[in-house]
Structure 1
């Protein structure tokens, strides 16, 4: 019989890493981004503060690792299935529509991500600077494909996309912090959220059908 290899230290390290990452999310939910200190994170994880330096190098590296795992656009850059058809500049409307609708759903249900975006727009930090750069890399890949499909058409898809992404962020944040409607729409209700989904589809339809 083959001798069983002891993996206790490896397993303990992995458990500690996962505890630290999970505790970042808990601290964000309970204390906001201002509470992301080594003491708070370690206490929430139930481990020694020195493990943060041992496994991540610093609190900033730990937080950046967590944010990258939760950020919708960073995650999409590694998981989005871009077909050969998209790469050739065909059917990019469907790809963009899927990304935006999924962003709406993801941001609407993810409290940690909402806190992260609030952090991003309220403070300039190296962590969020790096995250923003990774998002832009995904955007560049997509726009390289859409440029082929929309060549010679009088549309600025970058500006349209910027307004749609920003609008999704703002409307969701507004719905979570205020009891008031926005343009007489309540996206806390399924029918209100569907109206926004339909509007995203309609805007992209107008963009792609606009003649030169």
Structure 2
């Protein structure tokens, strides 16, 4: 019995050590991004910031790309939002897509504003072709597919290109947040580096979504 308990403790210790090491490696990706940007995401930098041997990173993740992808998937708003979305959209009332969309966009806005590391990732995605970013974009599209299949039931036969509207809003959110963090100027006389300016943008996002859905109601009268 004592040997069995000792074996179990040893196994759990190895497992816990592996999980801690993987966690340190993943966290190190964020630290490197914040301080050096995406060009600094090398095995040498990651192992240094994580304070672990690079051999362990190779053993647990295979490649730097796999490690970075694991990190980004844990940080990306749309990838995270996909979890549980299939069940929600399958059971939610069909007439509530406007409220769901508004919530998704405003949450994305807040999440990106608060996550400096994710801002670096978005800037990376926009400035350089990358297989990692391409795979993450495909993961994000899973959420889009779930939402639009849900919304299409409500909007079937109605003259509203919701995909076009959402594309512009998502792109605008990315630009506005990155501009606020990196450029010291107003946009259309709005100081988006202030809470007042950001509140104006959030109010406008809600109004645009409302206008899009109300335009359908008007054309069907």
TM over 0.5: yes
Q: For the Cα contact (< 8 Å) 1:89–1:147, is it kept in 2?
A: no
Identify the residue that residue 178 of structure 1 maps to in structure 2: 183
Q: 2:83 aligns with which of 55, 78, 85?
A: 78
Q: Which sections of structure 1, spanning at least 5 residues, go unmatched?
A: none
Distance 1:142 1:11, change over 3 A: same
State the SS of the aligned residue for 1:91: helix
Q: 1:110 aligns with which of 109, 112, 115?
A: 115
Q: When the two structures are aligned, how many residues end up with a matched partner?
A: 211
Matched, 1:202 2:213: no
What pairs with 1:4-43 in structure 2 (closer than 5 Å)? 5-6=8-9, 7-43=12-48
Question: Matched residues in 2 for 1:147 and 1:139: separation?
Answer: 12
Identify the residue that residue 168 of structure 1 maps to in structure 2: 173
- Give me the CA root mean square deviation: 1.6
Question: Matched residues in 2 for 1:19 and 1:77: separation?
Answer: 25
Bigger share in helix: 2
Q: 1:47 aligns with which of 49, 52, 76?
A: 52
Shift of 1:209: 1.4
Question: Matched residues in 1 for 2:156 and 2:116: separation?
Answer: 39
Q: For the Cα contact (< 8 Å) 1:60–1:127, is it kept in 2?
A: yes
Identify the residue that residue 128 of structure 1 maps to in structure 2: 133
Question: Matched residues in 1 for 2:154 and 2:91: separation?
Answer: 11
Q: Which sections of structure 2, spanning at least 5 residues, go unmatched?
A: none
Q: For the Cα contact (< 8 Å) 2:33–2:40, is it kept in 1?
A: yes
Name which one, 1 or 2, has greater alpha-carbon Rg: 2
Q: Deviations over 1:135-185 (max 9, x none)?
A: 111101111111111122211100100000000000111111111111111
Identify the residue that residue 119 of structure 1 maps to in structure 2: 124
Shift of 1:82: 2.1
Q: TM-score, normalised by structure 1?
A: 0.94
Q: TM-score, normalised by structure 2?
A: 0.91
Shift of 1:8: 1.6
Question: Matched residues in 1 for 2:147 and 2:165: separation?
Answer: 14
Shift of 1:106: 0.6
Q: For the Cα contact (< 8 Å) 2:89–2:147, is it kept in 1?
A: no
Question: Matched residues in 2 for 1:83 and 1:109: separation?
Answer: 27
Shift of 1:187: 2.2
Shift of 1:89: 2.6
